[in-house]
Amino acid sequence: MKELSRKVEAIKPSGIRKFFDLVSEMKDVISLGVGEPDFDTPWHIRDEGIYALERGKTFYTSNLGLKPLRQEISNYIKRTQGIKYCADNEIIVTVGGSEAIDIGIRAIVNEGDEVIIPQPSYVSYEPCTILANANPVIINLKSENEFRLTPQELEAAITNKTKILILPFPNNPTGAIMTRENLEEISKIIKKYDLYVMSDEIYSELTYKGNHVSIASIEGMRERTILINGFSKSYAMTGWRLGYACAPVAIIRQMTKIHQFTIMCAPTTSQYAAVNALKNGDDDVKMMKTSYNQRRRFLLNAFKEMNIECFEPFGAFYVFPSIKQFGLTSEEFATRLLKEERVAAVPGTAFGISGEGHLRISYAYSLENLKTAMERFRNFIEKLRK
Amino acid sequence: MREELLSVIEKNSRIALKDLAVILGEKEIDVANEIAALEKEGIICGYQTLIDWDKTSIEKVTGLIEVRVTPQRGRGFDSIAERIYNYPEVKTVYLISGGFDLLVILEEKSLREIANFVSDKLAPLDDILSTATHFILKKYKDNGTVLTTKKDDEREIITP
């Protein structure tokens, strides 16, 4: 047989995979490893999906997505960020935020362009960049900065080939957020070097210290930003596979071509359900956020009691404690924690080498579940400390 | 703190004070004081256990009785409601808008006992015009808790 794509073969499979194989052989594992909400999609949203099916809404939608959905997205961004995107040509509905990341990068880069990716961060920016024939340039965010991106770090990473900055906040896996001041500082650099920004704001509804600020709301940034968001995290709709991108018409036009030839349109049922989510889902979001915040406090307190260093994350549903004091790598620690105490957590290195010395602990679990997990965690570190 | 505190203990009244303080981000003493105040003000009226009796071998029958009454001058429905709710076997009494006035929920060991209650105690009361008794056949959801099925976590164990 002839060889397969060298470029694809060179891409490393997700670091999570190995762990997954290990876990699947074990029984009675308590997982803290998921990146999705534990809530079911609120019933009124599911009901709307069912209703769409009943009415026979089973055809393709337009490439950009249902007009009423784009209108609701436009209203939502206006209401939360004060930014106006035209529902006719500045919004595209995608198959999850993931698709928007892929087609956004592909629409902007040329061969050899550089894409700046702050890490630790979600696993797909780097492979998507490589698949688009561009070169990833990694910024290793620092725990002493609470994993925020500083203007110094950004400027040091910029070359004359830099095209896009990926801005993944609120951050998976660290839970870090960027405040308006932080964003204003880096915006100066972005404008100075005339970069595009891909702002992945999928966790925008889950912040626990003031509301999320989009970089597109900073002066002079809207014109160079692709704002990515979706329904998975805020409305507990991961399996519906629905996200969107907002950007100036010139960018959306190019993204639409890729979307049209590879995807055609996002799932129709999901789009109808999502209209209802944006119209009537505010209370659900509030309820889930309150619950996440309670668990966040619980975990932070548990780590504090165990004398494990953990900066306070104000976004998403992860804490990112440091396990450096135990002298094990993240992977060793996570593997032993799994084998010896049957608790699954993701090693920080799955999200980039700067995640070394950390674990990603998800709090998308019930309090009882977290409590049991923390008891087991305590047993484990007491063994290590002996 | 009050609203969030109430919504947490409404779902789990057995949560330890320490945990409650941690998840609310408050001091233990403040939470304890707030609970004491809520009890004193009669906002917290009791701490009960939600039991699915159908899963035990103990026989229980729940009757739901619609009652139409003549309200009394000056006292409206209150005094007739009081006469009804004083029976210990009566679990719930609501004043309802619509086709009837009072909704009475009754728990007994058998259908016969519920029938006896209606015919011997409830129907003969002076101000009662009529009653309609329904028996509960199956409880799917009670007080916000689904009783029929327990759902497993169907998520993959590790996802990015």
Cis peptide before A347, with omega less than 30 degrees from 0? no
Minimum CA–CA partner of A348 in chain B: B160
Domains of chain A by start residue, with CATH: 6-41+283-385 (3.90.1150.10), 44-280 (3.40.640.10)
Mutate to test the interface with B, among A290, A299, A372 (most CBs of B within 10 A): A290
Minimum CA–CA partner of B159 in chain A: A34
Where residue B135 falls (left for φ over 0; alpha for ψ -120 to 50; beta otherwise) is beta
- For residue B15, the chain A residues in CB contact (below 8 A) are 367
Evaluate if residue B112 carries a pLDDT over 90: yes
Amino acid type, A17 = R
Which secondary structure element, helix H or strand E, spans residue A318, and what is its range? strand A318-319
* Per-residue model confidence (pLDDT) at position B117: 95
B102-108 and B61-69 strand pairing:
antiparallel
Structure tokens at A70: 């784009």
Q: Which of A29, A295, A298 sits opposite B157 (nearest CB)?
A: A29
A294 contacts A367 by C-beta, under 8 angstroms? yes
- For residue B146, the chain A residues in CB contact (below 8 A) are none
Alpha-carbon span A118 to A157, nearest angstrom: 10
Task: State pLDDT tens for residues A326-376.
Answer: 999 999 999 999 999 999 999 999 999 999 999 999 999 999 999 999 999
Q: What is the 3-state secondary structure (H, E, C) of A213-280?
A: CCHHHCCCCHHHEEEEEECCCCCCCHHHCCEEEECCHHHHHHHHHHHHHHCCCCCHHHHHHHHHHHHH
Mean pLDDT of the region A113-141: 97
Place of tokens 């007080």: B143
Asked if B156's CB is within 8 angstroms of A38's CB, the reply is no
Q: Measuring CA to CA, which residue among A185, A204, A184 is closest to residue A285?
A: A204
- For residue A172, the chain B residues in CB contact (below 8 A) are 160
Task: State pLDDT tens for residues B46-100.
Answer: 999 999 998 999 999 999 999 999 888 777 899 999 999 999 999 999 999 999 9
- Residue A27 binned pLDDT confidence (cut-offs 50, 70, 90): confident
Angle, helices B2-11 vs B17-24, to 10°: value is 130
- For residue A344, the chain B residues in CB contact (below 8 A) are 157-158
Evaluate if residue A265 carries a pLDDT over 80: yes
| Chain B closest-CA separation from residue A294 CA (Å) | 4
Mean pLDDT of the region A223-247: 98
Mean pLDDT of the region A77-101: 98
Instruction: Look up the ipTM and state it.
Output: 0.85
